[in-house]
Structure 1
Amino acid sequence: MTKQIFQKEINLITKEIELLSKLDSINSYLQQYNWIFLHPYSQGMDIGILQRLSTEAENPKEEILHFFAKKFLDLRNTIHFIDGFYSKRPFLKEYSSSIEESVILCIQKDFNGAINVLLPVIEGTLRKYLVSKQGIEKEQEINISKLLSVFELMTIDYVDLQKKYLKRRYHSLVTINKYFDTNQEKQILKKHKEYFELWIKQLKNYLQNNLYLNTKHNTVVTDSFNRHLIFHALNQDIEYSFSNYLRLFNCINFLSWAIGAGDETCSILSELDEEDMKSKWADYFNILIISEALTETKNNIYKNPIVSFKKYLDPKYLKILENPEKLVRSAIELNQFLKAK
């Protein structure tokens, strides 16, 4: 009986690993355009869409941006991430107000501010995790390679939790001393470790080879959107864009999942009341209305043109947006008329 149950456990996690392995080709495709990866909150249909893009896209960079932008600008989804996941996660929840501020700045198309508010959240969260596991002496840790060792600690936490879940699922077998033998348990947990590491390597690779790449010691830099270049002002041509903001936001999604996956107190579902989400959505959408109305005004000020978000929005929201946007535009035009007088 135990052998059958053992094989069932092995088969279940093996199927997950096989599915995840197929994502490597998609992630490799995304990374050609300096996009990151699908994070574990992604749904099955997301995989299908990106698979089609990888073979059919005529303008890959723009079509990839369109995919991630549409997901982000479904503001209900973004609110669920912030209030339903991030604000509940250890280490990350301390930055939930900064994350929300960055999202508001992004919706307002103030991408420079949005990026500079969000960028320290990734490093800060990793550092807090490291300090909690290895002691206060790591609080001032600035060596990125040491900081990235946090993913090994996350893997240990994930495997330990899977071991606890395994014994809980087969409590009756533990009680009658017919639980998996030591070797069987090790094989099952080894599979779980492989599964988690397949996911986590995507985030680690991006941080190590793109965002946190030390440009001082690397002559070949394929991605100019880089922490070292930004913080030390080594490059005046940093692209503070919507696409680069979405890359950072994707990292936060990934961190939220990785922390929650190894913590028993974290739900796999969004912990947000639907009515609370609707109330906040109305406020977010008001900001989006004003942001769209101000696009032309900002284009008069900024050197780099700002594009409308409308092409990324669900058509059902365009009608809701139309009249309020006209009113804001009218107020701007009236103000300009009065100033001219």
Structure 2
Amino acid sequence: MTNTCTNSGESARMNSTSSPRHSGFGLCPSFEPDTMRLHQRHEQAISHQPPNQSVDNPIPRVLVIEGPTASGKTALAHRLAEELPLEIISADSRQIYRGLDIGTAKPTPAERTKYHYQGIDLCYPDQQMSAGTFAHLAWKWIQAIVSRGNAPLIVGGSGLYVRAILEGFVSEPNTIPAELRARLIERLHTEGRDALYAELQELDPALAARYADRNPRRILRALEFYYGHGLPLSQAQRTFHHAPPPMEVLRIRLFPERERLYRRINERTHAMWQSGLVEETRSLLEAGYAPSLPVLTTIGYAEAIAVLHGKLPLEHAIERTAQRTRHYAKRQYTWLRHAGMHAPSGIIDLQMFGDEPSIIISTITNFLCQER
């Protein structure tokens, strides 16, 4: 049975750094945090109470890198961290799991140490961490990073996690029965996502209008909430919403050309399988983790399990992994484009700047050092 990852304090300590990489914010010496006020903001963030805003109590400035899978987010984050006093928060819903390294393209242990990563290896594969729990942790990490004189850089592998950090999250009034979830999953398989989406349009038209990509996981989530709690999720998002602590955000979005992106996906997929994805998956199963666990049904691991069970030839498994990843990237690409049309200012579209990092670094420096 899947349980909830609740030992967030221990996980946070495991990902914390013993000493800061920068003693102060080197680009702009006036950026020296008041630790008492930071502690106050930290406590207020935990209780979801907005801190007092004033010139003497500046809110954190946060960088976010977003883009489809395999678009180069991690490589860009590392390049920026070489030039600027940054610490990285991985907002990836699969990289939170211990033992899932190759299939989730985790940074290496050396990279995690060098760039002071947070958000990795928080849970075991049979646990779950909600976006709200992750956001709660991320708010604490942001305050800790700022207190060390550095700037937080969120690398967004999961749009849901990034939105929870930046926009807040909805806490459920009670647990949704497992039987309800199972029935809806069965209906998804038998009736298809279009039928369930049409049902959502009737039950929660406001939310359905925001789910134009018809992502089946989000549709299931919305229907679970409606039938489990008796009210539309869009209404709950207003009623049970936990607002994030104030922060100034600069979002960097990667939009590589489709052909180039798909080529990267194919190359990375082959590299994962050659690096031991099957062996990693076998180790997880031998450790006693059930192949039906949600995280082991995701891209790559599902195909590796099929290979291990003799249900899929290796060559077909590699191609299916690449194909599923391309489809996933296409949905991410579409969502990011749509979200960008309605987003506030403070977004860098890297198609504007190409591959020249100096302009990006200059823009980020201006953002971090501008007077309040």
TM-score band w.r.t. shorter chain: under 0.3
**The structure with more helix, counted as a fraction of residues:** 1
Greater C-alpha Rg? 1
TM-score by length of structure 1 reads: 0.24
Of Structure 1 and Structure 2, the greater strand share is in: 2
Q: Could you tell me the TM-score, scaled by structure 2's length? A: 0.22
